[in-house]
Amino acid sequence: MPPSPRSPREGGPPRGPGPWRDPRFVAAGAVALVSLAGILVGAWLWAGGSGTGGRGDVASGFVTPVPAAAPFDRFGEARLSVDGRCVRVLVADTEDRRTRGLQDVRDLGPYAGMLFVFPDDTQRRFTMANTPTPLDIGWYAADGAPVDRTTMAPCPDGTSAACPLYESRGPYRYALETPAGTGGGAIAPCA
């Protein structure tokens, strides 16, 4: 009489036929494991991929926007240190907000400017289409260090195709538009 398979209570793995010996069972287990790993990596990337608990630097504490005051209630606002001075800025942190920017704005009211926040480093260009006042723009790395800056001329009646494009000399994560002559220096969270 052949020996009977050992039961798990006797110690050691069971022997004999069973699903763990079936190649289809092993393949299904491998697929499940790879799928789980993919879900975990996707969730980590969606959350910012940096271990900071949020989507990129915005959620990690660089700026945490709250709703802005009227007439800018389509945007967020935050306090930001610009060259060591803590100021209120509008925050454009979605594609729609970044596209709208400061078009048709003549007076920023209590705000020192608008911070454009991108989820990753970029080299996107800016236009002054439908923007009636001259603006300084500073481009900044993810840590707030200056990358480049320039002054942009108004193009109040133009379209994006008809107005000049302004671009940074290198990749950046943030862009800060301020009234011409008022911008400059590094940016950081307010202390």
Amino acid letter, 107 = D
Once rounded to an integer, what is the mean pLDDT over residues 140-145?
A: 94
CATH 3.20.20.70 is right for the domain spanning 56-189: no
pLDDT value for 62 = 65
Taking only the tens place, the pLDDT of each residue in 75-96 is 999 999 998 899 999 999 999 9
Give 138's contacts (C-beta < 8 A, 6+ positions apart): 146, 148, 149, 175, 176, 178, 183, 184, 187
| Structural tokens at position 19 | 């699903």
Cβ–Cβ < 8 Å for 99, 75: no
- d(CA 107, CA 45) in angstroms, rounded, equals 38
The residue ranges of every structural domain in the chain are 8-46, 56-189
pLDDT exceeds 90 at position 170: yes
pLDDT band at 136 (very low <50, low <70, confident <90, very high): very high
User: Is residue 52 scored above 60 in pLDDT?
Assistant: no
Least confident of 32-46, 98-112, 142-156: 32-46
User: Cβ–Cβ contacts within 10 Å for residue 111, how many?
Assistant: 21
pLDDT bucket at 38, cuts 50 / 70 / 90: very low
At 27, the pLDDT band (50, 70, 90 cuts) reads low
Question: Which helix (H) or strand (E) segment is 96 a member of?
Answer: helix 95-100
